[in-house]
């Protein structure tokens, strides 16, 4: 499926690629702690203004759309960089736009917000529509686990119940608020994450995002936007994995000939390319879907999540296997792409949630 970029989108792609090449490489990725990741965020975001990509120009943004978001996500996937782009720019931008919050959109465009999504609780699935955390008398209490990017965030988007509501609300909570305890760790892809405990954290009325009890619908809408962005990230990763694996097979010799001449391995490389092209086609369908028709848009997003997850799993596993034992070592970036792939696959509800939603959409 053809999907040509505009001249402006091509410039955005090339500028981001060049910027990442200056500020991020394999050595910095492998050794990159919190401070290195924070510097990368500041360097790239400040230099290119990426936080405003989908925000209207009236709020200080670039006025782009989902395709611009996809272009950025693809380049970030190729470089394994800026994991905070999706929760901050994609999810945060979607939430503030959907609730008509021009003030926070302007703050996001200015680069003043670096967000982390705090929704999952102990023993819950990421797509849970019920939480135990609560806000009562202006105080937030609860525990959130697997909060990706929390050590880097300036603010958390927290789901919590309010008295008299049948569903949870979302709140924007400053990361430095008294009463927040953070236990940091690294996910399997090396991304910093935290378990957050909120004990009588002060919450003001204007900290709520949208209306009381609107949380599940807002959360799902933001997650659907994240699916599109992470599919773009996955495409960038698969492109690198396929190129890297092809180069490796061309260099390695067995029985006096290049591994790239073995027909069985050529078939496996062809299957990897087919998986990549399937994901590109589904991504283009989701980007073209009419989001004024919620059912059709959700069906396209779920189809994309299912296809992209299967493709990313297959391509990353094949890349590791075709590299042999070296494929699982930290010295080769293939292993880092594989680990990141596992995190992306499990995100935004995971394939199981989207299979159920897709099947339900078919009636």
User: Tens of pLDDT along 303-356?
Assistant: 999 999 999 999 999 999 999 888 888 888 999 999 999 999 999 989 999 999
Answer yes or no: do 153 and 168 share one domain. Answer: yes
3-state DSSP assignment of residue 352: helix
pLDDT value at position 3? 65
Answer yes or no: do 131 and 104 share one domain. Answer: no
- Average of per-residue pLDDT across 64-81: 95
Least confident of 45-54, 90-99, 130-139, 278-287: 45-54
**Which has more pLDDT, 26 or 102?**
102
User: Residue 142: which region, alpha, beta or left (left: phi > 0; alpha: psi -120 to 50)?
Assistant: left
Determine, yes or no, domain membership for 301.
Answer: yes
Strands 155-160 and 169-174: antiparallel
Answer yes or no: do 187 and 316 share one domain. Answer: no
What is the number of helices (H) and of strands (E) in the chain?
Answer: 12, 10
pLDDT value at position 255? 81
pLDDT more than 90, % of the chain? 81
Angstrom distance (rounded) from CA 5 to CA 256:
44
- Average of per-residue pLDDT across 122-146: 90
Q: How big is the chain by its Cα radius of gyration, in Å?
A: 21
What is the average pLDDT score of the chain?
93
- Average of per-residue pLDDT across 74-90: 95
Answer yes or no: do 237 and 329 share one domain. Answer: yes
Answer yes or no: do 354 and 302 share one domain. Answer: yes
- Average of per-residue pLDDT across 114-135: 89
CATH number of the domain where residue 141 is located? 2.40.110.10
Which DSSP string corresponds to 138-165? TEEEEEEEEEETGGG-SEEEEEEB-TT-
In our burial notation (b when 16+ CB lie closer than 10 A, e otherwise), range 2-26 reads: eeeeeeebeebbeebeebbeebbee
Which DSSP string corresponds to 278-317? HHHHHHHHHHHS-TTSHHHHHHHHHHHHHHHHHHHHHHHH
Provide the domain limits for residue 120. Answer: 116-212
Query: Which are the contacts of 196, defined by CB distance < 8 A and separation ≥ 6?
Result: 118, 143, 144, 145, 147, 150, 156, 180, 181, 182, 183
pLDDT value at position 222? 96
- 237, 312 Cβ separation under 8 angstroms: yes
Instruction: Say if residue 1's pLDDT is above 60.
Output: no
Answer yes or no: do 97 and 157 share one domain. Answer: no
pLDDT confidence bin for 363, thresholds 50/70/90: confident
Instruction: Say if residue 2's pLDDT is above 60.
Output: no
pTM of the model: 0.94
Domain boundary among 71, 90, 113: 113
**Which has more pLDDT, 17 or 3?**
17
Strands 155-160 and 115-118: parallel
CATH number of the domain where residue 61 is located? 1.10.540.10
pLDDT in tens, 135-149: 999 999 999 999 999
Determine, yes or no, domain membership for 1.
Answer: no
Answer yes or no: do 228 and 301 share one domain. Answer: yes
219-to-89, 106, 222, 255, 337 alpha-carbon distances in Å: 14, 21, 5, 55, 27
- Average of per-residue pLDDT across 41-51: 88
Into how many domains does the chain fold? 3
Answer yes or no: do 350 and 231 share one domain. Answer: yes
Answer yes or no: do 174 and 238 share one domain. Answer: no
Least confident of 15-19, 40-44, 274-278, 334-338: 40-44
Instruction: Say if residue 129's pLDDT is above 90.
Output: no
Determine, yes or no, domain membership for 167.
Answer: yes
Domain boundary among 191, 212, 233: 212
Tokens 């965030």 label which residue?
Answer: 153
**Which has more pLDDT, 54 or 30?**
54
Instruction: Say if residue 237's pLDDT is above 50.
Output: yes
């Amino acid at each position: 499926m053809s999907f040509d970029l505009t001249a402006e989108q091509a410039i955005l792609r090339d500028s981001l690629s060049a910027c990442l090449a200056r500020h991020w490489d394999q050595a910095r990725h492998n050794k990159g702690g919190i401070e290195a990741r924070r510097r990368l965020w500041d360097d790239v975001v400040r230099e290119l203004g990426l936080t405003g990509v989908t925000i209207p120009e009236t709020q200080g943004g670039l006025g782009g759309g989902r395709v611009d978001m996809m272009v950025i996500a693809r380049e970030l996937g190729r470089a394994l960089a800026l994991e905070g782009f999706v929760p901050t720019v994609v999810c945060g931008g979607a939430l503030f736009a959907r609730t008509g919050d021009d003030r926070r959109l302007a703050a996001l465009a200015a680069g003043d917000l670096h967000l982390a999504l705090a929704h999952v609780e102990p023993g819950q699935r990421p797509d849970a529509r019920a939480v135990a955390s609560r806000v009562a008398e202006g105080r937030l209490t609860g525990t959130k686990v697997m909060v990706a990017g929390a050590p880097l965030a300036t603010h958390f988007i927290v789901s919590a119940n309010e008295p008299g509501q049948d569903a949870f609300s979302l709140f924007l909570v400053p990361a430095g608020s008294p009463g927040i305890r953070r236990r940091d760790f690294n996910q399997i892809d090396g991304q910093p994450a935290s378990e957050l405990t909120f004990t009588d954290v002060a919450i003001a009325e204007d900290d709520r995002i949208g209306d009381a009890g609107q949380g599940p619908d807002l959360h799902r809408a933001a997650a659907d936007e994240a699916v599109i962005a992470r599919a773009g990230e996955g495409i960038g990763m698969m492109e690198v994995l396929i190129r890297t694996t092809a180069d490796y097979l061309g260099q390695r010799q067995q029985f006096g000939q290049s591994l790239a001449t073995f027909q069985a391995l050529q078939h496996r490389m062809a299957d990897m390319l087919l998986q990549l092209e399937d994901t590109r086609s589904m991504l283009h369908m989701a980007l073209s879907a009419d989001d004024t028709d919620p059912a059709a848009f959700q069906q396209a997003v779920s189809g994309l999540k299912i296809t992209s997850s299967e493709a990313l799993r297959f391509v990353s596993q094949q890349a590791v296997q075709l590299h042999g034992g070296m494929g699982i070592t930290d010295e080769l970036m293939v292993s880092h792409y594989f680990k990141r792939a596992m995190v992306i696959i499990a995100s935004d509800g995971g394939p199981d949630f989207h299979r159920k939603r897709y099947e339900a959409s078919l009636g």
